Structure 1
Amino acid sequence: MDSLFHSRRKVADTSLHLPAFGMGTAHLGELYGTVEESVSQATLAAGWDGGVRYYDTAPWYGRGLSEHRLGGFLRTKPRDEFLITTKVGRTLYRPADPRAFDRGPWVGGLRFEVKFDYSYDGIMRSYEQALQRLALDTVDALVIHDLDSGFHDEEALAAHTKDLSETGMKALGELKSSGDIAAFGMGINMKEQLADLAQRVDLDFALVAMPYTLIDQDSLHTGMQACIERNVSVIIGAPFASGILATGSAGAAHYNYGIADAGVVEKVRRIEAVCASHGVSLQAAALQFPLSHPAAVAIIPGAAKPEELKANIASVDAEIPAAFWDDLKSEDLIVADAPVPFDAEGVGG
């Protein structure tokens, strides 16, 4: 059986080849709870020792904390042995009163205010700030972050989109043509955005957070198909749907970065029943499923503890029988024509 974990996939028409498995680092920014410094470093070390060589972060994650932690770890490693992506569209600055500053929605994180800026100058400043927090002189790709209605009202979204199209894209183009980065993409949180906004600008890839998971394939024939047609690669940013596909229906039940509703919990319970009947872990199914889509080049699940990351690594190449995917389809738990991962012998991975 070929190893998914050790495979690399080319990003669109670029020189960038990403490992199919990478590490997302939002949890190191203390998304759902605080993470001790020793634990964050042990988690990163467990990933490196387990073969992880692709990492994704963002200025927004913990208001700079994730980049600081990740960069502090990676700066001790040979630069030609890992790939790293971070995001642009926000700059960080000191709040007027740090002692009274609300760091929400982060449980922990740092006391820095954010400013959205998708203009040429804003993207260049965001990029330069990120390099300093990471203590690295290069990143491999940049991602336009959170340009959607979940973070901006209608007027602000229109203004930021205008800034991006008129000058911001020029900044990304210059960084790519100069060789500072190998590729650039856009973070996608909503299925409507995947089908619409991301298709208005020329991208190498889309970092899709929620619109294509084991729970939801509504974007299969719209946004995901558009990516195939436009030769835009896809990185799956939330293969655990922000939590519930890692913890299961009896766990914390985080879905779409909030609390899952009863319908989502029930659907996960039904998927778990199929998993149990085939001896398949929910986590393995969640990680392997999106990688079977022809546009997908990588998944970047997060982890806050070493054991979580080790479990993720093991799940990528866990064997899953073809009959498992057939049962999910027959019970209408995944879309009937969704690509599923199995080889000629009918074994997953």
Structure 2
Amino acid sequence: MGCAGIGNLYAPVSDCEAHDTVAAAWQAGIRYFDTAPHYGFGLSECRLGAALAAIDSKREAIVSTKVGRLLDPIEGCGGERHGFVDAAAFEPRFDYRGDAILRSVEESCARLRRDRIDILLAHDLGALTHGAAGDRHLRDFLDSGYPAMRALRDQGAVRALGLGVNETAICLDLLARVELDVILLAGRFTLLDQSALDRLLPRCLEKGTRLIVGGPYNSGILAQSTRTVRDLRYDYRAPPETILLRAAAIEQICDDHHVPLPAAALRFPLRHPAVASVIPGLVGEKQVEEMMERLALLIPDALWTALHEADLVRITEPEAVALP
């Protein structure tokens, strides 16, 4: 379960609905939850921590959170900021240095009500987020941030470490420099965007780095019908016409094979052997129920073949993917 939604991403969510979402996911068998300080500026972590404290007495949940942003208190926090609505009274500030990493982990543990982090991810490194400042942040991370993460893992305060990003270039760069247990990659290995396929996924297999696919619906465009929904998002913004047309073509082939578009989107990344998990964002018991139905749906191999023949996806069978 991706937990940005219970941090009020795009729309406010009550404490009760956030708790009920996590509880429904738990009841359905979900045991991995991904969050970050950035999601609602601490709100998502607090809500996830409160829910798990009530339902996970044996500490079975696997929780990933992120570092790279510190939260500074502010006065007044209504409205939308950075995509989060009526979030907590903090402002995120990028800092990938070692001291910031240690402070961030301490604060996350307090919000999550946990004494350690299962998976710790460096959040939003790379040029896509930082532009010209990307090199400076990368230097900070390599000089002291990454060593701090390694030390936390060595001490047992963190079980695994890696990246949580939206672009492949920084993944390839860091895989050549440091050891990463996990990469959480959002939006780059989906029905609409398979840019991670040629280089990153083979490198993950080669290195033994497990890939978690976030954003399987590409911010929502693949989570619903392109024909009936008007307020569609792709990569957090309104989709360009080329993406709308491509999504509509995928949806038509899914219809021809009697498979809902969201079910195909959720299942597609799992066809690659490098992928360990897919984490759709969830808000509300209904979305949990829909996700479980999509996971249980029998999808014919003919669908993947048809999408491949239409040049809409570039893999059909996991066995067809070979190391270079």
Of the three residues 31, 40, 45, the one matched with 2:18 is 40
Q: For residue 119 of structure 1, what is the aligned residue in structure 2?
A: 97
Judging changes above 3 Å, is the alpha-carbon distance between structure 1 residues 300 and 99 closer, same or farther for their aligned structure 2 residues? closer
Shift of 1:36: 2.0
Of the three residues 269, 276, 297, the one matched with 2:276 is 297
Of the three residues 216, 227, 230, the one matched with 2:207 is 230
**TM-score (normalised: structure 1):** 0.86
Of residues 32-41 and 59-68 in structure 1, the stretch that sits farther from structure 2 once superposed is 32-41
CA distance in 1, matches of 2:48, 2:245: 36
Q: For residue 322 of structure 2, what is the aligned residue in structure 1?
A: none
Q: For residue 347 of structure 1, what is the aligned residue in structure 2?
A: none
Does structure 1 residue 332 correspond to structure 2 residue 311?
A: yes
Shift of 1:291: 0.9
1:1-349 residue pairs with structure 2 within 5 A? 23-76=1-54, 77-95=56-74, 97-98=75-76, 103-154=81-132, 156-249=133-226, 250-251=228-229, 252-335=231-314, 338-340=315-317
**Mapped contact 1:131–1:139 kept (Cα < 8 A):** yes
Is the partner of 2:128 in helix, strand or coil? Answer: coil
Give CA-to-partner distance per residue, 1:256-297, whole Å, 9 cap, x none: 111111111111111111111111111111111101111110
CA distance in 2, matches of 1:101, 1:277: 42
**Mapped contact 2:77–2:87 kept (Cα < 8 A):** no
Counterpart amino acid of residue 147 in structure 2: K
**Mapped contact 1:123–1:168 kept (Cα < 8 A):** yes
Shift of 1:341: 6.6
Shift of 1:302: 0.5
**Mapped contact 2:125–2:170 kept (Cα < 8 A):** no
CA distance in 2, matches of 1:200, 1:235: 20
**Mapped contact 1:199–1:226 kept (Cα < 8 A):** no
CA distance in 1, matches of 2:90, 2:15: 19
Shift of 1:161: 0.8
Query: Superposition RMSD on alpha carbons, in Å?
Result: 1.8
Is the partner of 1:72 in helix, strand or coil? Answer: helix
Tell me the number of residue pairs that the alignment of Structure 1 and Structure 2 aligns.
316
Identity %: 38
Give CA-to-partner distance per residue, 1:224-279, whole Å, 9 cap, x none: 22222222110001111111111231323211111111111111111111111111
**Mapped contact 2:63–2:117 kept (Cα < 8 A):** yes
**Mapped contact 1:198–1:206 kept (Cα < 8 A):** no
Query: Relative contact order (C-alpha < 8 Å, sep 6+): which is higher?
Result: 1
Counterpart amino acid of residue 118 in structure 2: D
**Mapped contact 2:220–2:234 kept (Cα < 8 A):** yes
CA distance in 2, matches of 1:101, 1:326: 46
